[in-house]
Structure 1
């Protein structure tokens, strides 16, 4: 007979963890599963980001009294139906992957597509910057192969900016997938082990080289569009420091 730790991890258990309903004896197994399956870990981070943004977006509705015009003259049981219908609608909306609206809860200016983009970048940062054994797919010792491979997948030339002047060295990078297709993540680390990530994906939007700022808790990001790519620099740094690094990245990419 298999123990709880040996049972395969299911999609339902991932959602149960998000909902705080995963049994204690399964948590270690799910953590190990996510460590060994980075593509699932990335998807799980997206679920978590979507859940957080949805909660923020609709929080004002939760405690608001039901308007009199929506209260049918029926029993108490029937009076709950409008809210049940709303809950079902929101569930279907989230399941449909409406990333543009889900990003509405972010502290980020710009169009919904930009807010969705930076949400993806920050979600990927949260997953892989904390990874100990497999933070990157291809290491910095294969930098030429890394940027050539990622550039080919993005359909645009790619380079890894030098950030040694800011105390950061390239760790490596990986290919990711977001709602619009392939994306690339480059990771850098300083002498203390602090990490920042540079996220890029193709974009059909016009270039906008002005920096925009977004944050979610202690994770902050500067993002912009240039040369057919959308870029986001993300890290757990103060805004001024991260802004300076973003300027260095921009200059390096356009030198």
Structure 2
């Protein structure tokens, strides 16, 4: 009896650990015979692990006061009333777990929004490193198509991204630090387009530059550092631009890259 062909749904189920036991061996045999597909699946698994590493700590964070009130037991007066059928009772732990799950789902669907009100400038600054880190985690492991337009067509890439962002934007040159441009892509931000440029070194280590134009106009150009799970991020805001450099390299090395990028954008 001939085996059923392995479909994209089978591969996604394999990544999600949801394949039936009888199908698992067939998919593993397929991956062993198709190295390119196996490499793509490994990239998906790496993304999955990185996203979990980034967001699992949320489960251990204390609930904000506003959510603690929502998750607290009802008052005595409220318990005198008949319970509404079919509505589950939420403990603080389950409430926190639900928030974490929503955040992970939001990352996959590109919804990395800050949940609590702050002054606009600080809210946008707080979102920048997390959004950049998520974009890095999602796209940098991709083997087949890490970018939409490759470095071989840099002029086309620059023209396209500049048009979509409504302002000239050029990828900085990082060859002196050992990083060469792979290419770039357009990403959706909170309220408009975002550019991502990707680089790699001789070992295959990748870093990404995230350029946003959604920031409150200011000239707070001081570097800030954030660690989002396995990803280190240096970021800053200059005028309407927000910049973030993300990579899985140590802080000192990333700081040298960020300084080089800042210097080049300052003189553009």
Q: Does TM, normalized by the shorter one, top 0.5?
A: yes
Q: Aligned partners of 1:177 and 1:67: how far apart in 2?
A: 36
Q: CA deviation at 1:216?
A: 2.0
Whole-Å separation in 1 of the counterparts to 2:52 and 2:190: 12
* Residues in 1 aligned to 2:3 and 2:100: alpha-carbon distance in whole angstroms: 34
Could you list the runs of 4 or more consecutive aligned residues of structure 1 that deviate by over 4 angstroms after TM superposition? 1-4, 20-29, 48-52, 66-75, 84-98
Alignment of 1:229-244 (within 5 A): 229-244=241-256
1:81 counterpart = 2:83: no
Report the counterpart of residue 237 of structure 2 in structure 1.
225
Residues 143-162 of structure 1 show CA distances to partners (whole Å, capped at 9, x for unaligned) of 11111111111111101111
Contact preservation (8 Å) 2:236, 2:242: yes
Match of 1:6 in 2: 7
Aligned residues: 233
Structure 1 range deviating more: 128-137 or 244-253? 128-137
3-state secondary structure, aligned to 2:195: strand
Show structure 2 runs of 5+ residues with no match.
31-36
Q: Secondary structure at the match of 2:173?
A: coil
Do structure 1's residue 121 and structure 2's residue 132 form an aligned pair? yes
Residue pair 2:224, 2:234 contacting (<8 A) in 1 also: yes
Residue 194 of structure 1 aligns with which residue? 205
1:124 Cα deviation from its structure 2 partner:
1.2
Coordinate RMSD, CA, aligned: 4.6
Instruction: Determine if contact 1:49/1:119 at 8 Å carries over to the other structure.
Output: no
Choose which of 236, 251, 257 in structure 2 pairs with 1:245: 257
Instruction: Summarize the Cα distance change of 1:98–1:115 in structure 2 as closer, same or farther, 3 Å threshold.
Output: same
Which residue number corresponds to residue 136 of structure 1? 147
TM-score of the aligned structures, taking structure 1 as reference length: 0.69
Equivalent in the alignment of 2:114:
100
What are the Cα deviations for residues 14-69 of structure 1, in whole angstroms up to 9, with x where unaligned? 9x93xx6565658889xx6xx59xxxx8xxx79x85995486166445xx9x9777
How far off its partner does 1:99 sit?
Answer: 1.4
The superposition leaves residues 168-220 of structure 1 with CA deviations (integer Å, 9 ceiling, x where unpaired) of 11111111113332111111111111111101121241232111111123310
SS in 2 for 1:246: helix
1:210 aligned to 2:218?
no
Whole-Å separation in 2 of the counterparts to 1:140 and 1:7: 29
User: Is 1:173 equivalent to 2:195 in the alignment?
Assistant: no
1:7-22 to structure 2, matched below 5 A, reads 8=9, 17=16
Q: CA deviation at 1:113?
A: 2.5
With over 3 angstroms needed to count, the CA separation of the structure-2 counterparts of 1:124 and 1:87, relative to structure 1, is: closer
Matching residue of 2:34: none
Q: TM-score, normalised by structure 2?
A: 0.66
Give 3-state SS (helix, strand or coil) of 1:153's partner. helix
Distance 1:166 1:230 in 2: 22
- In structure 2, the partner of 1:154 is 165
Contact 1:101 1:112 in 2 (8 A): no
